[in-house]
Chain A
């Protein structure tokens, strides 16, 4: 009689623990869909690509287009800006890496690593300041950008939010931003057309 009672209690404990464990596992697993549904859905992930025709972009002109919800700056650089960018020594740079998604991770931030060979007049980069995400203003000849290090009168960028300064290759030179402006994945479909993404 006593043995039966003990067995009963032991079996009840085991059953309690087993049931609790199974219920717990099920409960935890059932949480997953509720967490996952907040991740980017298939429509967002579907690589949205944008094609841009560069032919209408004259020398010294820049255009900002939207790609995946963010601004992309495309500038048809003047010779002077390209030369200024090439003249910069790597030691002067705050961020030594190219930050070009078309290149290898560890590439240095030389001007040629920021553009496509043979097309170095076109600088294509994300218009998202690497500090906290504002859109940097481009020099357009209408404002004096002489204070911007690495900038010429017509080239370079200045972020109005907290004063980050980017040179004519979009590299961070002064101010709180930690990294160079990112170059998104893109390729030339023809001599004058690119596809971003």
Chain B
């Protein structure tokens, strides 16, 4: 038994050491920034989600779609906590492009049951207009890793929200060496997952979005808020998931305890 343990520890150490050598596709791992929803008891900060929504609406939605999110989701439990009236107004502020009975394209105001419309008709149209097609943002925080490593990710999570935050705050002036490899029309961002040159112009500037509650609106703040909002769009059931998890695990531990006691009793005459 001792031998087994020591060999397993050796194996673990080997894997652990090796996996801390990151083979990052991005040049840099995402910055370590804290969010209220992290950890087994984490919850979204509703005010932050509402600010993040505003950033999406005023900045990101000009290029990025969010097609798996419906306006009505903004009123769902565990989310930004808008009420029905606000949702109706929010929805109506978007134009939905549809074909009418005669097959002609028309615009109409959004309804709560609609999903966020895409700013471009097709990805090809987006690429033609912008150089590269901006990815849909509904799942972006689940579709990106902030860092790698088997144990790193077990302890710190996969780092999706941190990736988004780092990308938005990560535009840098490249060193002279690196600047030589500059690609026309792209910007240097060492946090970008597909290599350090990104087609997206730095989207945020200080004070760009004013928040109704007067919260700080430097690039750093807006990046945090929109990263939190996009975590909600990717995982709208996160709070329910963690709450249910707590109940299930406690229940299973109790049941396990009872079964173990029963097992000891039943096996008493054999041992």
A-chain residues with CB within 8 Å of residue B3 when the two chains form the complex:
none
B-chain residues with CB within 8 Å of residue A11 when the two chains form the complex:
265
Q: Of A19-27, A75-83, A106-114, A180-188, which binds chain B? A: A19-27
Q: Is the CB of A12 within 8 A of B251?
A: no
A-chain residues with CB within 8 Å of residue B255 when the two chains form the complex:
19, 22-23, 26
Q: B139 on the interface (CB 8 Å rule)? A: no
Q: Is the CB of A18 within 8 A of B258?
A: yes
Q: A101 on the interface (CB 8 Å rule)? A: no
Q: Is the CB of B70 within 8 A of A43?
A: yes
A-chain residues with CB within 8 Å of residue B132 when the two chains form the complex:
none
Minimum CB–CB distance for B168 against chain A, Å? 30
Q: A103 on the interface (CB 8 Å rule)? A: no
Q: B266 on the interface (CB 8 Å rule)? A: yes
Q: Is the CB of B258 within 8 A of A22?
A: yes
A-chain residues with CB within 8 Å of residue B127 when the two chains form the complex:
none
Q: Is the CB of B258 within 8 A of A12?
A: no
Q: B7 on the interface (CB 8 Å rule)? A: no
A-chain residues with CB within 8 Å of residue B30 when the two chains form the complex:
none
Q: Which residues between 3 and 53 of chain A lie within 8 Å of chain B, taking CB atoms? A: 8, 11-12, 15-16, 18-19, 22-23, 26, 42-43, 46-49
Minimum CB–CB distance for A52 against chain B, Å? 10
Q: Is the CB of A49 within 8 A of B111?
A: yes
A-chain residues with CB within 8 Å of residue B113 when the two chains form the complex:
46-49
Q: Chain A residue with minimal CB distance to B76?
A: A42
Q: Chain A residue with minimal CB distance to B268?
A: A8
B-chain residues with CB within 8 Å of residue A47 when the two chains form the complex:
112-113
Q: Is the CB of B258 within 8 A of A26?
A: no
With A22-B254, A26-B255, A46-B72 as given contacts, are A15 and B261 in contact (CB-CB < 8 Å)? yes
| Binary contact readout B55-95 vs A (1 if CB under 8 angstroms, 0 otherwise) | 00000000000000010100010000000000000000000
With A46-B72, A47-B113 as given contacts, are A12 and B266 in contact (CB-CB < 8 Å)? yes
With A26-B251, A48-B113, A49-B111 as given contacts, are A19 and B259 in contact (CB-CB < 8 Å)? yes
B-chain residues with CB within 8 Å of residue A26 when the two chains form the complex:
251-252, 255
Q: Chain A residue with minimal CB distance to B269?
A: A8
| Binary contact readout B246-271 vs A (1 if CB under 8 angstroms, 0 otherwise) | 00000110110011011001101000
Q: What size tier do the contact residues of chain A reach?
A: 10 to 19
Minimum CB–CB distance for B66 against chain A, Å? 16
Roughly how many angstroms separate A22 CA and B255 CA in the complex, as a whole number? 7
A-chain residues with CB within 8 Å of residue B76 when the two chains form the complex:
42
Roughly how many angstroms separate A23 CA and B252 CA in the complex, as a whole number? 9
Q: Chain B residue with minimal CB distance to A19?
A: B258
Q: Is the CB of A46 within 8 A of B70?
A: yes
B-chain residues with CB within 8 Å of residue A22 when the two chains form the complex:
251, 254-255, 258
Q: Is the CB of A15 within 8 A of B265?
A: yes
| Binary contact readout B222-259 vs A (1 if CB under 8 angstroms, 0 otherwise) | 00000000000000000000000000000110110011
Roughly how many angstroms separate A44 CA and B111 CA in the complex, as a whole number? 14
Query: Which of A12, A42, A43, A48 sits near B262, CB closer than 8 Å?
Result: A12
With A8-B265, A8-B268, A46-B72 as given contacts, are A15 and B112 in contact (CB-CB < 8 Å)? no
B-chain residues with CB within 8 Å of residue A46 when the two chains form the complex:
70, 72, 112-113
Roughly how many angstroms separate A126 CA and B262 CA in the complex, as a whole number? 61
Q: Is the CB of A12 within 8 A of B70?
A: no
B-chain residues with CB within 8 Å of residue A23 when the two chains form the complex:
255
Roughly how many angstroms separate A26 CA and B252 CA in the complex, as a whole number? 9
Roughly how many angstroms separate A49 CA and B72 CA in the complex, as a whole number? 14
Q: 3 smallest A-B Cβ distances: which pairs? A: A46-B113, A19-B258, A12-B265
22 example contacts (A-B, Cβ-Cβ < 8 A) are as follows A8-B268, A11-B265, A12-B262, A15-B258, A15-B262, A16-B262, A18-B258, A19-B255, A19-B258, A19-B262, A22-B255, A22-B258, A26-B251, A26-B255, A42-B76, A43-B70, A46-B70, A46-B72, A46-B112, A47-B112, A47-B113, A49-B111
